[in-house]
């Protein structure tokens, strides 16, 4: 197990856990339900979402064998049958509105066993969930070719006109009845919405009118694959032709190893509504050129071109050095649709080299990290406010419109608040423009605590600002509140003096701070002052208005201070 874990890591995968069916069921549903379940050891392996070729045992084993250099990468071949002998899939124009694309292929003389069959079905399911985006982009159908006769027709008909026996059902249903039948099916009901409201449903027939499938919902029972199936007809229909080609390539490359002639696939012809024909699967090999120094530089290693080519060949990318070692020519097999750019090739070289083998070096750029000055000031102030006997509160940055406007005796338009377009709850409608409501709500929630309550918060508020690129601006504010049987204005005033003392701002007009009588809707008339420092107004302090106190469901008087600390950075 440890060796395999190590191998997975080297190959760029992760062995998630070693478990069994019994363990999984007992974890999810309890020990009782797990009785009788299999004890066979299962490996749960995490595969990157772009590696479709590792989603089944066949592909994974093949990839690991090539990586360990035990086998050479197989060459996938398509065999084009003699004129008139191959399978044809005719696409009609009715499909254009709903699922316009189709591709097909045949696996000849294949030998299934129980395990191979399970893996075959399982791969389809994994592809459906992953690249097919829950069958929205592509749906895969696999059929026993000996039970049907071509050419096949992919068309779209009204639901009432389609009638067939769905997979594993005992009788025939019309398409509308099938929809009702599967509405309660835990697995298939998730796909019904893809075609449910369309006037026509897609359907594939053979030359005798036998229904192969109604993509993306269900296959017909007639063409069901069993362990005795020798020839498999694979069709992929969808709304994205590129993804359909990739899915078909993966299906045939993974399972062609069980054909009589391993790694060969019989091609099928698809006829489009405009009369054009195309042979699938494409199984396209292509070559890319990469410079060895580019790979070395990007990874931070210094390997010779030939050893880089060998590393890439171990990752199923057959490579050789060309032109005096200036280039590496890389052949991308049809299984590797994830290789889009040179950096994908570099990544594979890095995996084969081994991430743990790359030497750690100090970056060439010389930088020294530093705390943001505003945050540094905030941290220092928090410590000293706590030392002054105040308790820190952390409140939500979002609040309701009432909190910042109505309850403070202001109009919402005057607050310049940033609104959320589709708020989930009434509590979170706007970004706060002041810290005061948050602290008042905190006191309301802690009325049972012994008096006096002394709270503070240093956080950001948000206001609209048309001059910034995002249309809003944050300001770091300090807010403190004192709640007791008497207002305690002198305590809040004392706190302001202490903060200014810490910031080394003297109490004078020239280059220090002063307070001047002012009016504020949230404060008691004649009990409010504006704080001036650095030649600008930085905030207010005062006794909170009785109306504000009752609106926040409080019963005692309180005084508050709220200032902007950014001028002091």
Predicted model pTM: 0.68
416 confidence band (pLDDT: 50, 70, 90): confident
Q: What is the mean pLDDT of residues 60-69?
A: 92
- CATH architecture assignment, domain 373-568: 2-Layer Sandwich (3.30)
Domains 1-46 and 286-357 share a fold: yes
What does the domain layout of the chain look like in residue ranges? Answer: 1-46, 77-280, 286-357, 373-568
pLDDT, mean of residues 26-36: 75
* Residues 19/28, Cβ–Cβ less than 8 Å: no
Phi, psi of 344 (to 5 degrees): -70, -35
For 472, the token pair is: 């809003």
State mean pLDDT over 64-85.
Answer: 91
What average pLDDT score do residues 489-506 get? 92
Alpha helices, H only, 216-362: 241-255, 292-299, 305-314, 342-353
How far is Cα of residue 291 from the mean position of the Cα atoms in its chain? 33
Q: Average pLDDT, stretch 498-503?
A: 92
pLDDT one-digit tens code per residue, 293-327: 999 999 989 999 999 999 999 999 999 999 888 89
CA distance 397 to 433: 9
One of 3.50.40.10, 3.40.50.10470, 3.30.70.330, 3.60.15.10 is the CATH number of 77-280, namely 3.50.40.10
Lowest mean pLDDT of 142-156, 231-245, 357-371, name the range.
357-371
Interatomic CA distance for residues 399 and 150, integer angstroms: 66
Q: Residue 20: pLDDT band by 50, 70, 90 thresholds?
A: confident
Cis bond before residue 420 (omega within 30° of 0): no
Alpha helices by DSSP H, listed for 399-530, are 401-404, 412-415, 436-445, 489-502
pLDDT of residue 39: 82
Q: Are strands 391-392 and 453-464 parallel, antiparallel or unpaired?
A: parallel
Alpha-carbon distance of 550 to 60, in angstroms, equals 68
Tokens of 66: 């090539």
Is the pLDDT at 106 greater than 90, yes or no?
yes
Class of domain 1-46 (CATH, top level) = alpha beta
Percentage of residues in the chain having pLDDT higher than 70: 100
Identify the pLDDT of residue 32. 76
Q: What is the pLDDT of residue 426?
A: 84
Residues 127-164: tens digit of each pLDDT: 999 999 999 999 999 999 999 987 999 999 999 999 99
CB-side neighbour CA atoms (13 Å) of 532? 11
Distances (CA, A) of 317 to 66, 211, 282: 10, 40, 18
In this prediction, residue 138 carries a pLDDT of 95
pLDDT reported for residue 425: 87
Residues sharing a CB contact under 8 Å with residue 314, sequence separation 6 or more, in sequence order:
66, 67, 69, 352
pLDDT of residue 83: 84
Q: Which CATH number fits domain 286-357: 3.40.640.10, 3.30.160.150, 3.40.50.2300, 3.30.56.10?
A: 3.30.56.10
- The predicted structure's pLDDT at residue 564: 94
């Amino acid at each position: 197990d440890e060796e395999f874990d190590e191998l997975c890591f080297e190959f760029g995968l992760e062995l998630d856990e070693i478990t069994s069916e019994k363990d999984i069921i007992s974890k999810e549903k309890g020990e009782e339900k797990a009785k009788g379940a299999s004890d066979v050891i299962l490996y749960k392996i995490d595969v990157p979402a772009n590696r479709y070729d590792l989603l089944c045992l066949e592909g994974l084993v093949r990839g690991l064998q090539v990586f360990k250099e035990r086998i050479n990468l197989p060459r996938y071949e398509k065999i084009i049958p003699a004129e008139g002998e191959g399978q044809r899939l005719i696409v009609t124009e009715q499909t254009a509105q709903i699922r316009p694309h189709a591709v097909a292929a045949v696996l000849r003389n294949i030998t299934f066993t129980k395990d191979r069959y399970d893996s075959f079905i399982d791969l389809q399911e994994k592809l459906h969930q992953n690249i097919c985006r829950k069958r929205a982009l592509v749906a895969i159908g696999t059929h026993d070719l000996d039970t049907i006769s071509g050419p096949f027709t992919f068309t779209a008909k009204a639901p009432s006109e389609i009638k067939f026996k769905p997979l594993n059902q005992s009788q025939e249903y019309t398409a509308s009845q099938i929809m009702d039948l599967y509405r309660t099916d835990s697995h298939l009901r998730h796909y019904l919405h893809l075609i449910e409201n369309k006037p026509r449903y897609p359907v594939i027939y053979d030359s005798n009118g036998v229904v192969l499938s109604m993509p993306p919902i269900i296959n017909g029972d007639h063409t069901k694959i069993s362990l005795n199936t020798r020839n498999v007809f694979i069709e992929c229909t969808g709304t994205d032709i590129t993804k359909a080609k990739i899915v078909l390539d993966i299906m045939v490359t993974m399972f062609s190893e069980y054909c009589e002639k391993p790694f060969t696939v019989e091609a099928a012809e698809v006829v489009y509504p405009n009369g054009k024909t195309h042979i699938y699967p494409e199984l396209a090999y292509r070559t890319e050129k990469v410079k060895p120094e580019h790979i070395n530089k990007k990874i931070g290693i210094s390997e010779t071109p030939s050893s880089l080519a060998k590393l890439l060949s171990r990752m199923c990318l057959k490579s050789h050095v060309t032109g005096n070692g200036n280039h590496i020519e890389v052949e991308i097999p049809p299984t590797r649709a994830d290789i889009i750019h040179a950096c994908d090739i570099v990544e594979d070289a890095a995996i084969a080299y081994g991430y743990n083998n790359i030497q750690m070096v100090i970056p060439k750029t010389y930088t020294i990290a530093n705390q943001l000055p505003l945050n540094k000031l905030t941290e220092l102030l928090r410590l000293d406010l706590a030392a002054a006997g105040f308790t820190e509160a952390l409140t939500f940055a979002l609040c309701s419109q009432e909190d910042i406007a109505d309850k403070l005796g202001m109009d919402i338009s005057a607050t310049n608040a940033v609104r959320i377009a589709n708020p989930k709850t009434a509590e979170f409608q706007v970004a706060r423009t002041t810290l005061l409501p948050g602290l008042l709500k905190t006191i309301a929630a802690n009325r049972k605590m012994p008096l006096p309550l002394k709270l503070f918060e240093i956080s950001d508020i948000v206001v609209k600002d048309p001059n910034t690129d995002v249309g809003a601006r944050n300001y770091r504010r300090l807010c403190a509140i004192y709640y007791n049987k008497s207002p305690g204005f002198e305590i809040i005033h004392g706190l302001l003096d202490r903060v200014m003392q810490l910031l080394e701002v003297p109490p004078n007009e020239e280059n220090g701070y002063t307070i001047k009588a002012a009016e504020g809707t949230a404060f008691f008339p004649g009990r409010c002052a504006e704080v001036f420092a650095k030649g600008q107004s930085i905030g207010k302090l005062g006794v909170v208005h009785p109306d504000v106190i009752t609106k926040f469901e409080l019963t005692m008087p309180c005084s508050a201070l709220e200032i902007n600390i950014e001028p002091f950075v």
